[in-house]
Structure 1
């Protein structure tokens, strides 16, 4: 397998972890427009910089957010999503009081998160399934 993206290194190994994360305002209300949308974009980028995460793509729609982010191996998908949601909710509700009066909380409690890679699941499965077919491997006939 040939890596086509830049991997990051740390003392325990190398990694290339990327997530597609999406979340919505409570009741899917279209409150993410104008200055709110601009500020939300800034806040998401600020949080990513603070955590050392890299934003590959970001779209703020009136009623939801899509984020494609590279993160570190110690951060779970739920941690990544909740870092963005918690931070942005607190700051936006402080800076835009109308959000407090329109919604009991800014974000819905749910989110979507999917890991993303350069190779498909089928490619990885084939790679693993054919390990013993490599010319430098000797298949053991009697168990492990």
Structure 2
């Protein structure tokens, strides 16, 4: 999965990037989903998610975006209010998701680690 920040703004500082990654791990763990590796780049984040096939990917994305945005605005309100005109915006409207298929998890892990 790939999520991009609104307006392609850079992920500011390692604290926010680390908090985003930790929150996504926590969200997925609480919903019995697994993330093998996760890496942030300047304005986006890559992570493969293992999930139950009865779940809709759009619902997974919605939950991740909503909960991470809320968490970041609570913790970094003064900083984010200078970056975004509207409150409670952090992610762009879209996302990219695809199935991995027959690619090995080590290949995916190497690709994602090379993104950061």
TM-score calculated relative to the size of structure 1: 0.64
Which of 7, 30, 33 pairs up with 1:53? 33
Using the TM superposition, give the Cα deviation of residue 35 of structure 1 relative to its aligned residue in structure 2, in angstroms: 0.5
Distance 1:74 1:32 in 2: 35
Superposition misfits of 4+ residues, deviation over 4 angstroms:
none
User: 1:114-133, aligned counterparts within 5 Å?
Assistant: 114-118=98-102
Provide the rounded CA distance (Å) in 1 between the counterparts of 2:74 and 2:29: 21
Q: Name the one with the larger helix percent.
A: 2
**TM-score normalised by structure 2 residue count:** 0.79
Match of 1:42 among 11, 19, 22: 22
How far apart are the structure 2 equivalents of 1:94 and 1:62? 22
Larger Rg: 1
- Separation in 2, partners of 1:32, 1:67: 19
The one of 83, 92, 96 aligned to 1:108: 92
Distance 1:77 1:53 in 2: 12
1:71 pairs with one of 51, 76, 79: 51
Answer yes or no: is the 8 Å Cα contact 1:47–1:84 preserved in 2.
Answer: yes
- Runs (5+) with no aligned partner, structure 2: 104-116
Partner Cα separation in structure 2 for residue 61 and residue 22 of structure 1: 11
Of Structure 1 and Structure 2, the greater strand share is in 1
Q: CA 1:55–1:95 in structure 2 vs 1: closer, same or farther (change >3 Å)?
A: same
Q: How many residues align?
A: 99
What is the CA RMSD across the aligned residues, in angstroms? 1.4
The CA distance in 2 between the partners of 1:94 and 1:83, in whole Å, is: 17
State the distance in 1 between where 2:60 and 2:6 align.
Answer: 19
